[in-house]
Amino acid sequence: MSTGIHHITAVASDPRRNVDFYTGALGLRLVKKTVNFDDPSTYHLYYSDGSGSPGSVLTFFPHPDARPGHHGAGQAVGISFAVPPAAFDFWLERLEKQGIAHDGQDERFGEKFVSFDDPDELKLEIVAAYGVEHAGAPWATADISLAEAIRGFHSVTLWERDYKATAALLTAHFGFAADGAEENRFRFRAPGGGVGRIVDILNTGDLRSGALGAGVNHHVAFRARDDAHEEQMREALTAEGLNVTPIIDRNYFHSVYFREPGGVLFEIATDPPGFTVDEPLETLGQALKLPAQYEARRAEIEKSLPSLS
């Protein structure tokens, strides 16, 4: 059983624009600047609250020459951030001041939200979420106070042609429970409080499949307490006939990957060791960190990567 969302990873185009939007407009902290472990010619950028808390981490593979993807069935399409209800009006005003087009205030499952896109048209929301006032480690900036800062994920939305098999996976193996429905949207919630506890499934019917590219989510990762917990989950999923990878060391967590029945790429990621394993909390995200297998190529890699300044 998982305790909720660990992180979400998406594809972007211009890395500098990506940094400007997520650290500037949204006020998240860049907590890790590294490379794609499978392709060191591109960055892997991690944004989160002030300490990289599980449930707050949004990561990107930015490819300057990436073509736009398109959203469709078999994808995680919507990413919702949680803010305290008292901060919601601040965020409505901030989107206006930042020149970010949005759809205006709306309500879902009794919570106010506003929808907008990032520069690559990744679909985002800010939700006035009850009970998150003291969640995580909020990150203040020059124009976003601790009281107003994003706390982490409210939820992620999966687009599925038939939600039932995915729903069965979430409830049987990930510890989520059905938590209501509105029209063709079905909500599932992990036990406990805090952020990153909600997965919505939008039943899309015969909508065409999505295609990976800039502005599209690559995968959703769910939390495991530790290596033993992850191995238990892996064995149970394998016994169900799912094609689950061996455990892979990603430096900041250990991971397994598989496609859920509707086609979304799922990951299970351990909470430890976390982002301070190779740099102190105070300076997270400031230096380029490379996995050991690429350290001998540092000069070459640094020269090939575009500046983020």
Query: Could you please report the per-residue DSSP string of 30-98?
Result: EEEEEEETTEEEEEEEEEESTT--TTSEEEEEE-TTPPB-B--BTEEEEEEEEE-GGGHHHHHHHHHHT
In terms of DSSP bridges, do strands 217-224 and 177-182 run parallel, antiparallel, or are they unpaired? unpaired
Sorted by sequence, the CB contacts under 8 Å of residue 118 that are 6+ apart come out as 12, 18, 21, 22, 124, 215
Q: How far apart are CA 184 and CA 13, in angstroms?
A: 32
CA separation for the pair 17, 31 (Å, rounded): 17
Distance between CA atoms of residues 213 and 243, nearest Å: 24
Give tens-digit pLDDT for 97-116.
999 999 899 999 999 999 99
Tens of pLDDT, residues 120-155:
999 999 999 999 999 989 999 999 999 999 999 999
Q: Domain extents for the chain?
A: 5-304
Mean pLDDT, range 24-50, rounded to an integer? 96
Query: CATH says 5-304 is which class?
Result: alpha beta
pLDDT of 191 > 90? The answer is yes
Q: Could you read off the pLDDT of 38-85 as tens digits, one per residue?
A: 999 999 999 999 999 999 999 999 999 999 999 999 999 999 999 999
